[in-house]
Copies of this chain bind each other. A is one copy, B any other.
Amino acid sequence: MIKVAKFGGSSLASATQFKKVSNIIFEDDDRRYVVPSAPGKRYDGDTKVTDMLYMCYNVAGKGGDFDLILREIQERYQEIIDGLSLNLSLDQEFSEIHRQIDNHAGIDYAASRGEYLNGILLANYLNYEFVDAAEVIFFREDGSFDDEKTNNNLGKRLNKTKRAVIPGFYGMAPDGSIKTFSRGGSDITGSIVARAVHADLYENWTDVSGFLVTDPHIVENPEVISTITYKELRELSYSGATVLHGDCILPIRREGIPINVRNTNRPDDEGTLIVESTCTKPKYTITGIAGMRGFVSINIEKDMMNTEIGFGRKVLQVFEEYGLSFEHTPSGIDTFSIYVHQKEFEAKEQQVITKLNKLVRPDSIDLESDLALIAVVGRGMRRARGTAGRIFSALAHAHVNVKMIDQGSSELNIIIGVEDKDYEAAIKAIYDIFVTTQA
């Protein structure tokens, strides 16, 4: 069995955190490939090493003196080295970094050094081989990730070593320069490594014990989701809240490798397991509740519209022309509504309405703003009769006025439109009926 363990910045922010990581690694012999982020914040108000590196780059770009910042970065690493009593000096590495930044190395080079150095440090501490990502992760000339080349090289390289640390976030461009993924890209590196070594599990160690059933700003201490499918995850990502870097899912999803999101600070918590599919009966009927504010609904009324072939297409065409993507299109008998993001819509409002009037000649168009959408997601909903009934009874009980309901073919989710003022009450009510009162 092979497990790839990726550790986030806060998991590797200090010597204390490194010790936790080491305990985790050595607790399970299968954790053979480790992907570290750069040291993150040790406390609220602390600065991430990556942000300090960006500062170096910016100061250097303006011809300023970045010595002081770079020395502060080295101190952060030295503090970890001292805390772990490692026999390791990063002097040479820091001279090289100083030289490169002086010589106008790119921003990606600067940014990537946090992971690079942390990788050297972690490999030394764990006594794992250090494999520089620049040797195994490749980008194309256009800047996109070179999937095939990476997979071939990385697989071969890691086959030669039983235990290795591969720093996250970066790789090499065809010209030999360093190139990074987008911010948070260590998740992607972990996923790429997991695929290359045909891992059985990709562990993503963070500072949370997995995905929460809903937004902790709305519900106090919401439960952790124990198992979630990729599909459910995607439906929940609706809310914009993400723990994982979105792009990290695709490579290993194709391989059927599950992801386990775990908490370095609470290693006994089982975290959230993300899988392609599962027979595991979910603990609750619903897996999660996600929501988003800031929608406007454009309600179009026209007598006999459903006999008018092309009506819906024309309506959507107007929105397309103005570059507006829509979220939902609930319809009644003579009504057709379009839910769009209020911010995107506002500037184009009058043009869209004028065009709609011209193109579909509706009886009326009316706008309703300050709406929120809530997605109640769960593979268990298919099995459980009465889910919709429970949701809407709970909302009624909470005095929430339901503006829109949309449940499509997936039966994985029900989308509910409510007024902004009812948004939090609605989420609380749904959480309570499915989780609190079931616990």
Contacts and interface: CB of A to CB of B under 8 A. Distances in A.
Interface string A385-428: 11111111111110101111111111111110000000000000
Contact of A306 (B327, B386, B387): B327
A283 interface: no
A106 to B, nearest CB: 29
Given A334-B235, A404-B409, A407-B404, A386 B396 contact: yes
A331 interface: yes
Interface string A131-157: 000000000000000000000000000
Interface string A80-124: 000000000000000000000000000000000000000000000
A438 interface: no
Given A325-B306, A325-B308, A413-B332, A385 B406 contact: no
A35 interface: no
Contacts of A388: 388, 392, 395-396, 402, 405
Contacts of A415: 331-332
Contact of A405 (B297, B316, B406): B406
A327 B309 CA distance: 11
B316 A312 contact: yes
- Give the size category of A's interface with B: 35 or more
Interface string A329-359: 1111111110000000000000000000000
Contact of A333 (B235, B320, B390): B235
A359 to B, nearest CB: 12
Nearest to A236: B333
Contacts of A329: 312, 329, 331
A245 to B, nearest CB: 15
A268 interface: no
Contacts of A308: 325
A331 B328 contact: yes
A333 to B, nearest CB: 4
Interface in A271-319: 297, 299, 301, 303, 306-310, 312-313, 316-317, 319
Nearest to A397: B386
Q: Which of A308, A317, A333, A402 has the most CB of B within 10 A?
A: A333
A405 B405 contact: yes
A125 interface: no
Contacts of A406: 330-332, 405-407
A422 to B, nearest CB: 12
Nearest to A388: B392
Contact of A411 (B231, B331, B403, B407): B403
Nearest to A412: B332
Nearest to A398: B385
A361 interface: no
A393 B386 contact: yes
A324 interface: yes
Pairs of residues from A and B, 9 with the lowest C-beta to C-beta distance, nearest first: A386-B396, A389-B393, A389-B392, A299-B409, A388-B392, A313-B316, A330-B408, A405-B407, A385-B396
Given A312-B326, A388-B396, 19 more contacts: A234-B303, A235-B332, A306-B325, A308-B325, A309-B320, A310-B320, A312-B329, A313-B317, A316-B316, A330-B408, A332-B415, A385-B396, A386-B395, A388-B405, A389-B391, A390-B393, A392-B392, A403-B411, A405-B407
7 contacts: A231-B334, A309-B324, A332-B409, A335-B408, A386-B393, A389-B394, A402-B407
